[in-house]
Structure 1
């Protein structure tokens, strides 16, 4: 198996040096100044109910289902367990998959690593193949002193309710310097390719060890960190354990790595596709702004030149500069988010970390149809206080959104840390949450969104 290394290459260094020289001589073609749009309303959108589906988990990070008409759900719990929820709501006692011995050692009080993503092959019924994204201990060939190695691996389920741990085929490995900013979502697109989200490598401001100064990993098209990747798990035309779609933006490898689909991300924790085939990514902000992006192939989403739709200063993350570059280092435009809201570090901030969401097309809650339902992890760090929101898509500019209160809760918020949202085969939505900020304990739960009871 050929893993991927983040070590600098000579051609990469030459290209970056040339680009920076051009920028220094000519300057940017234009400068960007943020113009504040009308403030989105944060009045309540209404209420939604929740139904407890599963508990006793540690830190449920992702939920997925195979297209096999069984109605089953599979929950990735960060310590390394995949739990199976049957169509009748019962939870199988025995794990569907247990890779706890392969996941990096986690701090129970706070950690951003672990088993973070799960996806089923679109022909799972025939081939039994599924994929996971997890942090392993740092591999031997990684740079000394770095934190961990991200793995995207394939497993096979030869039995209906159990995957074979011995069937692991490591498809991709990425070394990262810090514990935080892993990304972690893997999802099959309508094109049949696997999309993988990666964070910028951690620390803060996209600077520090392993951050490819002076531009950072998010803007560096020769780094796989701070990206959304797209690979073909059904071929190996790249000389690696996967293939490269021919229409990937840098498929020829001349101006960037061939796996890259979009770039300029800080920590795109969760992604989702809607019924129109549009890709959404929730990118966690630094200190001031949280964002959700509608992702275009080849798009540059601005980090660390911008945070959300605002300019960003790597030397002062607590204040947005009035102006900044309007293009990336290759001269390409920087794309703005469709949803942006203030981080809790600001006055009247709405939360600490957005965890992405889904376009709701289910039938259980008609008033939410065709609204983008998303969530924030928590307003505070000590006691979980995650918030739900509903956004109204707009033809242009930022989408308008409102808080979606949870019926029966004192302040309309969950009262737990919301880690992620999920979706089932009927397009109904789920909340993955826990009472703990870290991946320890057994206070993790899965809730299903339901109509509020009058």
Structure 2
């Protein structure tokens, strides 16, 4: 059983073809009534509105952007399997990479993540995460294969030949739901990969028959987690997810960082943090890792993720018990020794006031100069119709949720559905999404 079918259909519509009527998805979704008092909304000096400067238009369903280091160009990932290049002379006619014959875009699948290597200028390595057909030996009743792969881009940055593909990790996915899929290199040089729970969560946590679901299972699969991989070293004896049938084959081209939390413990070494439902977008600000996790039926959340953290799903949804009157703040003694369940830093409900929505779209801490009032604040959004943009301010008390406010968008018709965010090397924040006419990449600027 997949709970809350209406919500699932709504999020599926988000990714299915922005150009073919996303606005019609809203009628398929009903919001649950929740307590809006849980969200602190007193935020000082936040602009009432911001503008959107169009950088790239004519897109379909853009889900990721990578700014090429030391170059006046950027790559944009389209959900259907294309990676496009935009430079000073506009949008390149042919895709840098075209995986449409390989990528499965149905449901919540597709080309979901992209990242360029930190030393891209020297090694030309482009990493992508996409949904592919089931591989030989995977369960026949599963949905598809999670594929993490890299490609080599030509010296002029215009092509990533298909024959340069090297598959790094493959994970069999039980369903086409809750895929996560974002990629980001951390300041430590390792690749962080978000993986959803694949929509196979039971009704309850440990206090019910389900045992916590895929988000709490770190021994049998890599679902519901943030993975951390060393893609600069081949496998060198570290346990690989492939060793016992969970994807690919040993020596596929990554190693395990020595300080990953389950190294030498019971569990799969690729895990960095777990307890997630659908970690849709992630981002770094210095050493801080922000992960937005799409909620089930009542709350959306953003987490500040640390090595070995357990972020609660499906025992908790945000700071609240999931399908129970009360819930623990840590795992049972027999589950990794009473591991704490870490609460989010940002939470908002599905109904109640300006700070509400349906599916969180994770963003970035603003470090630019165009909007000083946003400096050092986390800018993110929600998939709710008309492109709701939020800004969150850190609390002085580590035990309190961050204050969050909604920001109006000038010329809101440019952006009716937010799908993702990006940040360039100057700290300016960008929004990817669909508008009244087509999709695009937009820079956040002062309102006119």
Q: TM-score range by the shorter chain?
A: 0.7 to 0.9
Mapped pair 1:196 → 2:193: yes
Report deviation, 1:159: 3.4
Aligned to 2:442: 447
Distance 1:357 1:89 in 2: 27
Aligned to 1:316: none
Distance 1:202 1:38 in 2: 27
Indicate conservation of the 8 Å contact 2:355/2:406, yes or no.
no
Q: 1:176 aligns with which of 151, 169, 173?
A: 173
Aligned to 2:328: 325
Aligned to 1:102: 102
Q: 2:283 aligns with which of 268, 272, 280?
A: 272
TM-score, normalised via structure 2 length = 0.82
> Deviation string for 1:157-191 (max 9, x for gaps)?
12321111110000000111111100111110000
Count of residue correspondences: 387
Report deviation, 1:213: 4.2
Aligned to 2:18: none
Aligned to 1:370: 376
Q: 1:435 to 1:205 in 2, by over 3 A?
A: farther
Mapped pair 1:60 → 2:72: no
Task: Structure 2 unaligned segments of length 5 or more: list them.
Answer: 1-34, 239-249
Mapped pair 1:123 → 2:123: no
TM-score, normalised via structure 1 length = 0.81
Q: 1:218 to 1:150 in 2, by over 3 A?
A: same
User: What is the correspondence of 1:53-452 to structure 2 with a 5 Å cutoff?
Assistant: 53-67=55-69, 69-86=70-87, 88=88, 90-104=90-104, 106-107=105-106, 111-160=107-156, 161-203=158-200, 213-222=210-219, 223-236=221-234, 237=236, 238=238, 239-241=250-252, 242-252=254-264, 254-275=265-286, 277-313=287-323, 321-328=324-331, 329-330=335-336, 331-344=338-351, 350-378=356-384, 384-395=385-396, 396=398, 397-409=400-412, 416-435=416-435, 443-452=438-447
Q: 1:51 to 1:349 in 2, by over 3 A?
A: closer
Indicate conservation of the 8 Å contact 1:274/1:359, yes or no.
yes
Indicate conservation of the 8 Å contact 1:113/1:135, yes or no.
yes
Distance 2:112 2:283 in 1: 15
Distance 2:61 2:200 in 1: 22
Distance 1:59 1:205 in 2: 31
> Deviation string for 1:188-228 (max 9, x for gaps)?
00000000000001255578xxxx94331000111200000
Report deviation, 1:42: 8.4
Distance 1:182 1:324 in 2: 26
Indicate conservation of the 8 Å contact 2:142/2:174, yes or no.
yes
Q: 1:89 to 1:427 in 2, by over 3 A?
A: farther
Report deviation, 1:152: 0.4
Indicate conservation of the 8 Å contact 1:156/1:163, yes or no.
yes
Task: Structure 1 unaligned segments of length 5 or more: list them.
Answer: 1-33, 314-320, 379-383, 437-441
Distance 2:39 2:58 in 1: 43
Q: 1:89 to 1:341 in 2, by over 3 A?
A: farther
Q: 1:449 to 1:405 in 2, by over 3 A?
A: same
**Mean CA deviation greater in 222-231 or 134-143:** 134-143
Indicate conservation of the 8 Å contact 2:39/2:403, yes or no.
no
> Deviation string for 1:28-73 (max 9, x for gaps)?
xxxxxx9x75643489741111011112222100111232x11311
Distance 1:310 1:89 in 2: 50
